[in-house]
Amino acid sequence: MNRSLYSLLWWLALPLVLGRLWWRGRKEPGYRRHVGERLGFYGPVLAPRRTFMVHAVSVGETRAAEPLVEALLARWPDCRILLTHMTPTGRATGAALFGKHGERVVQSFLPYDTGLLVRRFLRHFRPQVCILMETEVWPNLIAGCAAEHVPVALVNARLSKRSLRRGQRFGGIMVDAARAITTVAAQTEDDANRIRSLGAPQVAVTGSIKFDVVPPEAALEKGAWLRARIGERLVFLCASTRDGEEALILDAWGRLASKPANALLAIVPRHPQRFDEVAQLVAARGLSLQRRSRMDDGAVDADVLLGDSMGEMFAYYAACDCAFIGGSLLPLGGQNLIEACAVGKPVLVGEHTFNFLDATIEAVAAGGAVRVGDADALVAQAARLLADDAARAAMGAQAAAWAGRHRGATLRTVELLQRIIP
């Protein structure tokens, strides 16, 4: 595929894309807001200021970008950060994390990847550098930056074998995009080698910025408040669960006869539009439910706690006794286990962790995480940990030590960016 065909397909698909946007807005109203930005229409031109664009597509990338954004603001006191997203939850997360910086951090949706919309975007904001988080390779955006002489950095970059095969199927367009990226800061040597195989000319291994995310004090205080409501009950947290996993976990939890008495199952779905769906799954199994959004200062006495709040994942980790990281029971690639380890919690993961494969392998080898084969093995392992205070404490300490050893990627990334920022 070449870029002309790619752009034509985008234009042909645009009515369907906008229709899907409106459809998703039924459950998430944020998808119906700021639609003009997705089409390259923006408000008044901002006052002239050195602008660094950071693209963080959704919640995970936005949270991962926090130490980098803070470092950029500190290193270049005269700069403005243009934080772009593709999802309303990512935008909301960015507002929560960076609202304290006022006009130094502005937000926008990234326009759909056609030449015309990208040109509107670049000429409106005029960034001096385009920083893409993790896997966000957009061919027309990268080509547009090259045409406007804007250097492009792909940072905290990861590329699984599966994603590499997918990229190779697109042929020339992905190779051209990779070759046009000015510099790449890869998480691991394996990521770097796969990215080099696509043609990226400058690739360095800097580690994962996610290790530098520090649990906010307010989140830890919220976790302590939540823990006080839970009391002495032992808590098994299933974090960032995906469609299909909650039913498996609930059924396995119900079958398990050996779990500690009065243990609390907490479930935090990855996507907020599924909160009500998961609540229905719990009710269908005859279990009592407490929604986090409806909690007061009373005790949590339900069978299941539903984490239906945004931006509180660190609080849930702080309040639990052991944590399962979702997206890994089914072949979905898994989610980030670093935050749970950083809080010092023992971590359980399924077999499917290709999105975070190296980190998962290392965490397991360090004794901070355990891999399980299915939902029954998951809840059985959780029950064993909940019943063994010493084993749980030792595993949590190993998880925290492993996370601590990998800090420093943000500083290495900023040093790399200094070479390309005008």
Which active-site residues does the annotation give?
61
Q: What are the residues facing 84 on neighbouring strands?
A: 55, 108
Encoded amino acid at 325, one letter: I
**Do residues 21 and 32 lie in contact, with contact meaning Cβ atoms separated by under 8 Å?**
yes
Name the DSSP class of 330.
Answer: T
Tokens of 298: 């009373």
Strand order in the sheet with 264-269: 289-291, 304-306, 264-269, 235-241, 322-325, 347-349, 369-371
Q: Furthest-apart CA pair in the chain: how many Å? A: 65
Q: Cβ atoms within 10 A of the Cβ of 77, count?
A: 8
- 114, 102 contact by CB (below 8 A): no
- Tell me the one-letter amino acid at 378: L
Q: How far apart are CA 304 and CA 326, in angstroms?
A: 17
User: Closest by alpha carbon to 266, among 344, 320, 334?
Assistant: 320
Neighbours of 408 (CB within 10 A): 13
Three-state DSSP class for 395? Answer: helix
d(CA 190, CA 163): 13
- Which 3 state secondary structure label does DSSP give 369? strand
First-to-final CA distance of the chain: 33
- Coil, strand or helix: which one is 20? helix
Helix (H/G/I), strand (E/B), else coil: 408: coil
* Cα dist from 390 to 146, 329, 380, whole Å: 56, 27, 17
Burial status of residue 181 (CB atoms within 10 A of its CB: 0-12, 13-18, 19 or more): buried
Q: Are 380 and 357 in contact (CB under 8 A)?
A: no
Q: Which two tokens stand for residue 253?
A: 């939890």
Residue with tokens 């006191």: 77
For residue 183, the cross-strand partners are: 153
Strand partners, 61: none
